[in-house]
Amino acid sequence: MDWIRKNDKLISVVAVLVVTVLVWEVLCWYFEARDFILPAPSRIIMEWAEAPGYFLKHAGYTLMTTLVGFALAVVLGVAMAVGIVHSVFLDRTLYTLLVALNSVPKVALAPLFVIWMGTGSEPKIAIALMIAIFSIVIDTVLGLRSADSDMINMARAARASKLQILMKIRFPMALASMFAGMKVGISFALIGAIVGEFVAGETGLGHVILLSQGMFDTPRAFVAIVILGIMGTLLFYMVEVAERILLPWHVSQRSAHTH
Amino acid sequence: MSRENSYVSIRDVGKVYPSPHGEVTALEDINLDIHNHEFVSLLGPSGCGKSTLLKCLAGLEKATKGEILIQDQPVVGPPDDMGVVFQRDILLDWRNILDNVLLITEFRRLDRSKYEDKARALLGRFGLQGFENRHPWELSGGMRQRASICRALLDDPELLLMDEPFGALDAMTRDDLNLELARLWQDTQKTVLFITHSIPEAVFLSDRVVVMSRNPGRIDEVLQVDLPRPRHLSVRESPEFGAYVSHLRQRFAQLGIVHGD
């Protein structure tokens, strides 16, 4: 009983997934759905088991593209945010431009990246980066700006330099907001990578889905989709675990430590 | 009040803020000398500019008129030999108490190892031994404010500025901290400028109480408090103490300031 109470969230998630899969299986069997319309879960698992190496290779490629795009988005995004917060000029120019660009559906720009960068992994990384960076920049700017003015005064009275205030006060205070941006960003990076693979190239799960569609091989497309679902979930939790490690003091995390 | 032995000298200071409805005068014609080792309170209602005056003295804001001298040097930025305690403890939540107290060693690039024993001793003095490795959010409001006083005292500054440091605490914790601060002053003889809107607190702690009125913020009266030192909380029951308090109450009533204490 105790174990159940402690893990009630995990148990309910697993239960919902298991029931969904079972209902799906039963419905496919009952209506005799054909594989190319909607394959049953058992069929999808068989498809996966037939060529695990094939899926691993393509998943690895998509994962690599996503992670590189995301990492670049974090580095560039945070650097831009620091510049925007510290310079009126960058605020008026770069930030205004970013906010304006953010309203363009960025997926629409994907084909252009193929023209500019070819069909290798560069355009995919670039698209992942472009889609992920907005939320990171905007949330980091917000976080850096919302630093407690009393705290800044305290540091100034203790004769802290601007750089020290940035590193020791503004950054730690902005972390919660930055992580909110990164959680959105990591999911967006995966979308960007898939869009990049849709547009051009011969590798990645996006390419697998496109290829399966051409051959009406729906079970194979579903394997790729399932892998993407697992990957997206794991990537999101990776950011969340990093947040828990880096922000043990934050209000949203605190309960686990005080009890 | 000769200029020679004043540690802080505030001369004709005025502060005007621009606002959408024209200029707002926060401070006007402020003249005040604070002597070495003196405990001076600024007493007044909110909006009388007492915090603004403290910020100007701390070098966080610039006065628009007049000048402020500390040991005959004009204040242009935060002075070296100064500690500030604010109304909120503003400890950094991501550092433990010891690291919070040692914060200025990082800002001023001081050798941390030389200050660590001092920080522990200060925390011990304020009853926080054993809490060095705790985080601010694990401590009560009174303990947090004690830690922030330790932080301000780490480098043993000659001048201590306190901006309503006990305003957010409950009455009992406040009594406790008043007593600890009185003892600290007795032992270290620091020059203190203390801001408060509590009349008894100002009388209990101070050598002089500076009464401020608002709109614009001006000095209305400077009251010398000649109660014997060291003072204990029982001094508050003495008739002399009562006389000072009632004098100040009447002054605020004459100024038309409704004073809820």
Q: Per residue in B140-166, pLDDT tens?
A: 999 999 999 999 999 999 999 999 999
Q: Per residue in B188-247, pLDDT tens?
A: 999 999 999 999 999 999 999 999 998 888 999 999 999 998 999 899 999 999 999 999
CA distance A231 to A222: 14
pLDDT of residue B260: 47
pLDDT band at A257 (very low <50, low <70, confident <90, very high): very low
pLDDT band at A254 (very low <50, low <70, confident <90, very high): low
pLDDT of residue B181: 95
B residues 78-107 lying closer than 8 A (beta carbon) to A:
78, 80, 82, 84, 86, 88, 90, 92-94, 103-104, 106-107
Tokens of A193: 């990578």
Contacts of B107 in chain A (CB under 8 A): 155, 158-161, 164, 168
Closest CA–CA distance from residue A150 to any residue of chain B (Å): 7
Across the interface, of B55, B94, B107, the residue whose CB is closest to A158 is B107
Domain residue spans of chain A: 1-32, 39-258
Across the interface, of A154, A249, A250, the residue whose CB is closest to B84 is A154
Beta-carbon separation of B107 and A155 below 8 A: yes
| H or E, element range at A213 | helix A205-214
What DSSP assignment string belongs to A111-148?
A: HHHHHHH-SSHHHHHHHHHHHHHHHHHHHHHHHHHT--
Across the interface, of B59, B90, B137, the residue whose CB is closest to A148 is B90
Residue A155 pLDDT > 60? yes
pLDDT of residue A251: 65
pLDDT of residue A252: 63
Q: Does residue B137 belong to the interface with chain A, where contact is any CB pair within 8 Å?
A: yes
Cα-Cα-Cα-Cα torsion B239, B214, B68, B35, nearest 10 degrees, comes to 0
Widest CA span in chain B:
54
Higher local confidence (pLDDT), A186 or B257: A186
Q: Per residue in A91-112, pLDDT tens?
A: 999 998 988 888 889 889 999 9
What DSSP assignment string belongs to B123-187?
A: HHHTT-TT-TTS-GGGS-HHHHHHHHHHHHHTT--SEEEEESTTTTS-HHHHHHHHHHHHHHHHH
Written as one letter, the residue type at B228 is P
Closest CA–CA distance from residue A249 to any residue of chain B (Å): 6
Q: Which of A149, A153, A163, A255 to mutate to test the interface with B (most CBs of B within 10 A)?
A: A153
Closest CA–CA distance from residue A158 to any residue of chain B (Å): 6
ipTM above 0.90, yes or no: no
Please write down the HEC assignment for all residues of B127-141.
CCCCCCCCCHHHCCH
Closest CA–CA distance from residue A4 to any residue of chain B (Å): 30
Indicate the range of A97-101, B105-109, B124-128 predicted with least confidence. Answer: A97-101
pLDDT of residue B261: 44
Read off the DSSP letter of residue A95. Answer: I
In degrees, to the nearest 5, what angle opens at C-alpha B201 toward C-alphas B197 and B207? 105
The domains found in chain B, sorted by start residue, are 6-81+158-254 (3.40.50.300), 93-157 (no CATH)
To the nearest whole number, what is the mean pLDDT of chain A? Answer: 91
Across the interface, of B58, B82, B107, the residue whose CB is closest to A164 is B107
Contacts of A170 in chain B (CB under 8 A): none
Nearest Cα to Cα of residue B42 among B169, B126, B163: B163
Percent of chain B whose pLDDT exceeds 70: 97
Q: Which of B93, B161, B164 to mutate to test the interface with A (most CBs of A within 10 A)?
A: B93
Across the interface, of B88, B104, B138, the residue whose CB is closest to A158 is B104
CA distance A178 to A171: 9
Q: Does residue B76 belong to the interface with chain A, where contact is any CB pair within 8 Å?
A: no
Across the interface, of A150, A157, A258, the residue whose CB is closest to B58 is A157
Contacts of A164 in chain B (CB under 8 A): 106-107
Residue B18 pLDDT > 50? yes
What DSSP assignment string belongs to B69-108?
A: EETTEEP-S--TTEEEE-SS----TTS-HHHHHTHHHHHT
Cα-Cα-Cα-Cα torsion A26, A30, A34, A39, nearest 10 degrees, comes to 0
Q: Which of B92, B148, B153, B164 to mutate to test the interface with A (most CBs of A within 10 A)?
A: B92
Q: Per residue in A57-67, pLDDT tens?
A: 999 999 999 99
Return the CATH number of A39-258, one of 3.20.10.10, 1.10.3720.10, 1.10.10.10, 1.10.150.20: 1.10.3720.10
Total-model pTM: 0.82
Written as one letter, the residue type at A61 is Y
